Structure 1
Amino acid sequence: MQTFQNSFVVTPLEQFEILPLFKFFSISERFVFTNSSFFVFLVFFVIIGWFYFSILHQSTLFPNYWQNIVESIYLFILDMIQDTIGEDGYSYFPFIFVSFIFVLTCNLLGMIPYTFTVTSHIVITFSLGMATFIGINIVAFRQHGLHFFSFFFPKDAPLMLTPFLVLIELLSYVFRVLSLSIRLFANMMAGHTLLKILAGFAWTMLSAGGIFYILQFFPLAVVLALTGLEMGIAILQAYVWTVLVCIYLNDAIHLH
């Protein structure tokens, strides 16, 4: 009975709680290494280890399984750049490729039980989005200088409506940061929350015993199906993130 009651106490949002692991300075509360920081570093080590063992350490003339995955992703991102930006975007391939791999690894690593989904926090996705937005603006000013501001002036627009149209264009441009960050954060958080709720519901029915022991297999089956769906969403969100970055880069380079 105690287990049955405690199952309602645990909130599905508990999995997103940022917990301090240790402090860098005992007299300061500002430099705290959290579980979020740990998994960010873990993502970097996973990516470095994956590329090292699949390409640098065990690369062969005939690609092995892991090497084939890396090469497929490489060609996939290259084709995406060609389709959205053109040949002018090849110089930005390293940034786009690393962005895709980082977001994809964060999303997939968060699917492992008892791990932490880094991209389910708005502070992480907003930081990535803001850094990307600033970098794209640097590219735009380097390419066009002050002529970049012509991007906010609609062509052939009536002179009377120009101030309003410029304001709308400027707001929509600034909100690209939110478009990048909130889409990724909301999808990952919502999916993991739903899985937690259904898993908790199945565990509650299992703890209740009796006929609920049999009925709990129905929500459990839904959880398994949603887990597969969430895996697809994790990959899809990395793809959407990369496509948006390519589109924004194309606007910065070609002023379309």
Structure 2
Amino acid sequence: MGVLIVIPARFASVRYPGKALVPLTGATGQKKSLIHRSWEAAQAVSGIDRVVVATDDDRIRSAAEGFGADVVMTSSTCRNGTERCAEALEALGGGYDIVLNLQGDAPLTPPWFVEALIDALNAHPVAEMATPVLRCDGRALGGFLDDRRAERVGGTTAVFGAEGKALYFSKEVIPHISNSLWDDTQATPVFHHVGVYAYRPSALAAYARWTPGPLEQLEGLEQLRFLERDHPVQCVEVDARGRQFWELNNPEDVPRIERILRECGMD
């Protein structure tokens, strides 16, 4: 079984242009770009046959090749990372049983999050795609609520049924929490959707043929295209094992991510 990780990255991010090349300082004071740290996160995953950066920008290509990454150039017409992964797989000529999308703004993704998705697809042969969800503690929930109060687009939350089938994903905090006074370490009913996806190649190819639906366009969340087409998304609950997780969505996220890098002792 061949497993491919694609790291989609673009320079023209709507919320944070050029964020793929933003330097992030680690525990020892070493600066590495966001795309470099995301590539290192992918390299830490076991059971992977190949990791590639997929981009349409020569600046990102040059930076990625500079730290030793394989790069696949994709078109500027890709509307999101899933479309870019589909185009990258086609450019590579296929040949993989599972394709993983580790988004270029998620350098704090622990390897076991990604490995859990591979295990989920192996355990459920009929599943077309899977994505991890992480139960928020009070500290993480506080970050979500702070972002919404400040009218910043923060992380994504997910709600799902008893068998893990996704019901909805939103940039709002769902389900509604009437009392935000949670202890930092207390488990909450809110699940943070981690921006990693595992696809069967057939699901990835189908996605690229579909047009975006209204919910995807309103929320700006690519995975909603599957739900709007009645294709189930399997949510896989993962354990952070004490590690804080956050994506880089806004300039305000840089110090937050650098703090987590220091706390985790990551260079």
Give the TM-score taking structure 2 as reference length. 0.26
Structure having the larger proportion of residues in strand: 2
Structure having the larger proportion of residues in helix: 1
Bigger Cα Rg: 1
